[in-house]
Amino acid sequence: MLTDLQLAYLAGLIDGEGSIESQREWQPRGATPRFPLRVSFTFATEEPLKTISGWLGRTYKQYLATSVNRSPRYRMHIPKGIAVIVLGGCLPFLLLKRRQAELILAIEAVREANNPGRVHIGSAHLARMPEAAVEEMAALHTELRSLKSHKRGVRQYH
């Protein structure tokens, strides 16, 4: 469990250099789109990731400089199971990316509430998520994309 001070620090990193996103994906032969959640950080200095990796029990990677003019990069991806908890805890402290976090958490809540699991409905077919839930996730995702993209139009899902 993270303290309020740690959550506020993480919220500052998310607002400043963090990336919170969800991408609409289709699985091969899948009937329902997925909206995987991603929280990641990339820094030119190691210290912030060293600190939060200790708090979250995660590792980070170092990418060597690609030329003499560039610095090495340090990158950490926080998996969904931890990211949902972290974003929920950081929500009161987020300023710039608060709405993005709210939308990501709303997509995850709809998915969790409507996930049919791996239940077979006869033969080899899996049960589908209700169409209304898929449409709700798509609408939330469209709003999320509109917040992240000021230069290009956002495609509407049907």
The model's pLDDT over 69-87, given as tens digits with 9 standing for 90+, comes to 888 999 999 988 899 999 9
Residue 154 pLDDT > 70 = no
Bigger pLDDT: 123 or 132? 132
Confidence label for 98 from pLDDT (cuts 50, 70 and 90): very high
Three-state DSSP class for 137?
helix
Bigger pLDDT: 128 or 100? 100
Q: Exposed, middle or buried: residue 78 (CB in 10 Å: 0-12, 13-18, 19+)?
A: buried
Q: What is the pLDDT at residue 1?
A: 85
Of 47, 49, 26, nearest to 36 (Cα)? 26
Instruction: Give mean pLDDT, residues 98-116.
Output: 92
Bigger pLDDT: 17 or 121? 17
Region class of 96: left (phi > 0), else alpha (psi between -120 and 50), else beta: alpha
**Rounded distance, CA 59 to CA 54, Å?**
8
**Rounded distance, CA 23 to CA 93, Å?**
24
41-65 per-position pLDDT tens digit: 999 999 999 999 999 999 999 999 8
Q: What is the pLDDT at residue 92?
A: 96
Enumerate residues 6+ apart whose C-beta is below 8 A from 85. Answer: none
Rounded (5°) CA angle 43-46-52: 90
Residue 157 pLDDT > 80 = no
Q: Are 132 and 32 in contact (CB under 8 A)?
A: no
Q: Are 111 and 25 in contact (CB under 8 A)?
A: no
Dihedral in degrees, nearest 10, Cα atoms 12, 85, 117, 32: -10
